[in-house]
Structure 1
Amino acid sequence: MEKFKEWLRIKGYGSNTIDTIVRVTEYFFAWAEKENLSDITETTHNDIIAYVQHYRLKGTGSKTIAHYVWQLKKYFEWLMSEGEVSDNPCSNIVIKGIKRKVLYEILSEEALNALYENYRTDIVLEKTETLKSPPPQVLQQLARKRNKAVLGLLVYQGLSTEDIIRLQLQDLRLREGKVFIAGTKRSNERTLPLESRQVFDLLDYINDTRKQILQRRNITEPVQDLFLNIGESPRKNNLFEMLVKHLKQMNGKVKNIDQIRASVIVHWLQRYNLRKVQVMAGHRYISSTEQYQANNLEDLKEDIKHYHPF
């Protein structure tokens, strides 16, 4: 077990996660002993199915069983790395009754950069007789300048819509070149560096655009929310709906904000270890981060080249 623990540490797992994986692996050892499976290296796919059925009969929830299989899978991955087994009996085990994370088409880093760099903040209204009451050009420009500041936090820091909505003015630490994202019941807090290219737009938003929005809405009392609606509606989802509409016009592959976040996390996984990406993404559990590995098509292509060169 000590060698297994060391392998997990090298893979970037935290001490609490390692303790959980080891504990669940020992659950399997105890079950295998009762079932007279004396040699763990001879475990088959059917043995894992029987192990799952064991917990089904005990009334264990599907999500818990799925975690057990995921954690046990790590042990067999280690055995494979040691040359003790040739395949992983936990592979292709799907626990029914669990809501699955949607897989997205991953946008390349070049595509993400292009969305930000090419997002226009200037508006030129075309003269048309059918457009009797066009919205004021200045309001559209204010909205787009705000949206570009938001877009930078999406494509460079991988924030979610919930993160954006909860951001406060003091969370933006421009002198340090960082942004703080507070934790919730579902996510951990983190502090992420800002890209130099987005600092100017954030400065412009805070020092000019945001002040104009407050002025036009006749708000005089202090407001701590970083991003504000142009109109009176408290519903900030309108902001994202309009932003996504603009981004789809720029790149037809864009689906939604979740896709952008998934793309950013997948690119992080190509560059950093799993534990670091977990911290950057604000995931409470490392299994949440691992789900994004399924989106990593480049890794899949490399596996195909390595194991099936023809």
Structure 2
Amino acid sequence: MKAEIESYQSEIFAEYLILKGFSNQTQGSIKNTVKRFAIWSEEQNIELQNITCNDVVAYVNYCKQQGNKQRTLQVTVGCIKHYYNFLINENEVVENPCSNVDIKGIKRKILYETFTTEELESIYKTFAGQAPSTGIGSNLTLKRNKIILGLIIYQGIRTEELARLTIVDVKLREGKIFIAGGRRTNEREMTLEAHQLYDLMDYINETRKMILSLTGKNTDALFLSLGSGDKFHNVMDKLLKQLKKQNSKIKDVKQLRASVITNWLKVHNIRKAQHLAGHRFVSSTEAYQANNMDDLKEDVNKYHPDF
């Protein structure tokens, strides 16, 4: 971790801040703030690439206990957010853990409206039923994004997990998909819907090969962008824009996963839902239980764990 802390003073990060137009004073403030956050994360034994919204809130509360005022806390979160934008730019992380943090007396916007199983099914069918475009790139993107959306809605797979999927993780004969575990999540095998099997077979044998041919890429990753880069968050950003245009109630991908887990808890026991969600700790799953949903929506001091 020491090397990581020192890396915040690296030329690459410094160049990033310069390109963003920050003054020398602001650059120094950002570096020092991020360094303090890195030291705290080391003390908590948390890898910086694995930092979640929960961890950012814990750090904010720690800073508050140290006597930091609201304005200082806002600046602190802003500095950390800049660093994670840098890591996204360097393809080190997929999402910014500060993206949904809103310091208003240590509060965060978390007023998610969850969707029922039927509503999720409707979202998927509407997206999948789009008329094919005349452009080959648009058609390839639609086929790829249809599969990604299905894995979110039917299997509740997280963005980071989608980014890590490879072609060998798809078990077509068994009708399942393997999701590797992470520091905060357990590995699991998820059963695929019949229509997903057909679409995945077509994607692996035809669509993906065409994307590889068009882009000249050489990778085992299941999902590829049609651009020259390989940053998965670009794929998800474009998908989310399409979904928001389709349904204004959709806020982000985390909202869809929260809906999936909430619906699982209506038909499965807590341990089964925990396994399906890949939660390492049952307390993460308990936060989604029906009798906790009001608290989940109203208690803006808490975060959805392990999104």
Aligned mates of 2:113, 2:235 — CA distance in 1 = 23
SS in 2 for 1:146: helix
Note if contact 1:149-1:198 (Cα within 8 Å) is conserved in structure 2.
yes
Structure number with bigger Rg: 1
Residue of structure 2 aligned with 1:159, choices 157, 170, 190? 157
> How far did 1:124 drift?
4.1
Residue of structure 2 aligned with 1:170, choices 168, 174, 191? 168
Residue of structure 1 aligned with 2:235, choices 239, 245, 260? 239
Q: 1:263 to 1:140 in 2, by over 3 A?
A: same
Aligned mates of 1:103, 1:286 — CA distance in 2 = 23
User: Percent identity over the alignment?
Assistant: 48
> How far did 1:254 drift?
0.7
1:1-310 to structure 2, matched below 5 A, reads 102-119=110-127, 120=129, 122-124=131-133, 137-219=135-217, 221=218, 223-293=219-289
Q: 1:113 to 1:232 in 2, by over 3 A?
A: same
Structure 2 length normalisation: TM-score?
Answer: 0.58
> How far did 1:149 drift?
0.7
* Code of the aligned partner of 2:266: Q
Aligned mates of 1:287, 1:275 — CA distance in 2 = 10
Structure 1 length normalisation: TM-score?
Answer: 0.57
> C-alpha offsets along residues 62-115 of structure 1, whole Å, 9 cap, x if unaligned?
89xxxxxxxxxxxxxxxxxxxxxxxxxxxxxxxxx9988935211111111112
Q: Mean Cα displacement is larger for which, 98-107 or 268-277?
A: 98-107
Count of residue pairs brought into register by the alignment = 193
Q: 1:164 to 1:150 in 2, by over 3 A?
A: same
> How far did 1:295 drift?
8.0
Note if contact 2:133-2:139 (Cα within 8 Å) is conserved in structure 1.
no
Q: 1:101 to 1:178 in 2, by over 3 A?
A: farther
Aligned mates of 1:192, 1:111 — CA distance in 2 = 21
* Code of the aligned partner of 1:183: G
* Code of the aligned partner of 1:199: L
Unmatched segments (≥5 aa) in structure 2 = 1-60, 63-104, 297-307
Aligned mates of 1:104, 1:180 — CA distance in 2 = 28
Aligned mates of 1:232, 1:270 — CA distance in 2 = 43
SS in 2 for 1:192: strand
Q: CA RMSD in A?
A: 2.7
Stretches (4+) displaced over 3 A:
97-103, 120-125, 294-298
Note if contact 2:154-2:260 (Cα within 8 Å) is conserved in structure 1.
yes
Q: 1:140 to 1:270 in 2, by over 3 A?
A: same
> How far did 1:294 drift?
5.7
Residue number in structure 1 paired with 2:74: none
* Code of the aligned partner of 1:210: R
